[in-house]
Amino acid sequence: MQLGDILDDFSLDVSTSSLEVSRVDIDSRECEPGTLFFAMPGARQHGAKFAKEAIVRGALCVVSDRPVEVPVPVVVVPTTQLRALLAHASAAIVGHPENKAKLIAVTGTNGKTSVATLVGSLAHALAWNAASVGTLTNQRTTPAAPELYRTLATLVGHFNVATPDSLVAIEVSSHALDQHRVDGLRFCVAAFTNLSHDHLDYHETMEQYFLAKASLFTSEYAKRAVIWTDGPYGERLAEMTALPVTRVSRSDAVDVATSLRGSTFFWRGHLVNSPLVGDYNVDNALLAMAVMSTLGASDAQVAASMGEVTSIPGRFDVLYGEGVTVIVDYAHTPEGLQRLLSDVRQLQSGGRIITVFGAGGDRDRAKRPEMGRVASTSSDLTIVTSDNPRSESPDAIIDAVLGGVASGAQVEREPDRRLAIVRALASARAGDVVVIAGKGHESTQTVGEFVLPFDDRVVVEELLK
């Protein structure tokens, strides 16, 4: 595709306009011959610093909000227009995949992955083309525009063109909204799960965190809203948005019965048999079903289709040993951990709860002692270990977590995550439940500059054998 067709609103000379572009990127390390490189301003440094590396790798033009001294054409645009132009270029180079499926946005602190995955599963069960984008598919919850549009193009490229309905559910993080990563997308439905303490290292206050999420619920991004209103932030959002709103509440589920094998309940007069475990997955199911209903699927078909959804990796994964049940879950916020442990307590029959968890490094530090309080008050034995310490000292992170534990609680520390799991399983007796929280589906652990293979589920299965 010629550069002049991508940057059609700019006056380019003939030679620059005729450059053949095959890729758009903001990461110099990902550039290849034919790349249009966007040198973007960043939180710590400007992308212009990496323009020369991008050109060495094959970039044939640079777009930025400042002049860059490089031996290729440079297009300078106002900072206020740069991200919108990046979205436009990213979409154009892959054929505007956003126009080939109904797009669903899911945002919130906890439950984004589950709801987005459930929406995709329900659509599949209803014989739609369907896929999801987020934590389970990409390195970032919501990728930057070049990667996001490439992902969309790949997904819709595999859809059956003979199928009349197509859908892609996208997890939309607060960082993505603040950094305009989803600019250029228009969602048929925007869904909100909940809001609780997280990412305050970035947003600083809960108000700023909320406003970042709330920016999705405008006509610029979405046509309709589906909002969980069993909480002050959801209720506030439902009141302030100008979009048509479908309110979702736990009261929408009637005669709920849960077990370690799944749950049943009635929704809008229809029986739902869900294979998903955990009380919080009833809430996630209610949101996902409301999204599909809003898109026009019949309530009866949606309710029946819940019986066909598959478990979500790392979300209340249940593994069984001899007399001991192990649950692996991604819960990594105070509220998420509290909800998980409350669900486990409700489902178990008389045994103890032994919890293994840690807190991520280079992330919101204020939530660490709060997570220590939650785990120690909701578990019979807590073993604090490492999550992804990244550049921080594992022991320093554990110290911060231990600073919030309840007085008199039985708490141990073991920085080595595998040894912590070994200790938990060795301490478990028949009837106990071992909860391993924080990493869920993740298959690696980041320690310093090293990304090491580590999957809680794999480790547990090895040890149970």
Looking only at the bridges linking them, the beta strands covering 444-447 and 450-453 are antiparallel
The pLDDT tens digits for 217-270 are: 999 999 999 999 999 999 999 999 999 999 999 999 999 999 998 999 999 999
* Residues 176-204: tens digit of each pLDDT: 999 888 998 999 999 999 999 888 888 88
- The answer, yes or no, to whether residue 138 has pLDDT greater than 90, is no
Mean pLDDT to the nearest integer, 87-110: 96
Reading the block at residue 92, the tokens are: 């154009």
Tokens (6 digits) for 271: 């029986």
Residues in Cβ contact with 290 at an 8 Å cutoff, skipping those fewer than 6 apart: 191, 226, 246, 248, 252
Percentage with pLDDT > 70 across the chain: 100
User: Residue 311's pLDDT is what?
Assistant: 87
Residues 6+ apart with CB under 8 A from 446: 361, 388, 389, 390, 452
pTM for the full predicted model: 0.90
Q: What are the structural domains of the chain?
A: 3-78 (3.40.1390.10), 97-308 (3.40.1190.10), 317-464 (3.90.190.20)
pLDDT score, position 10: 85
pLDDT of residue 202: 82
User: Around Cβ 362, how many Cβ atoms within 10 Å?
Assistant: 13
Whether the Cβ atoms of residue 21 and residue 36 lie closer than 8 Å to each other: yes
Which whole number is the average pLDDT over 71-82?
94
Distance separating alpha carbons of residues 89 and 79, to the nearest angstrom: 16
Q: What is the pLDDT of residue 309?
A: 95
Predicted confidence (pLDDT) at residue 376 exceeds the cutoff of 90: yes
Strands of the sheet with 61-64, listed across from one edge: 23-25, 35-39, 61-64, 74-76
Alpha helices in 329-393 (DSSP H): 334-347, 367-378
Instruction: Render pLDDT for 337-375 as a digit per residue (tens, 0 to 9).
Output: 999 999 999 998 889 999 999 999 999 999 999 999 999
- Burial of 350 from C-beta contacts in 10 A (0-12 / 13-18 / 19+): exposed
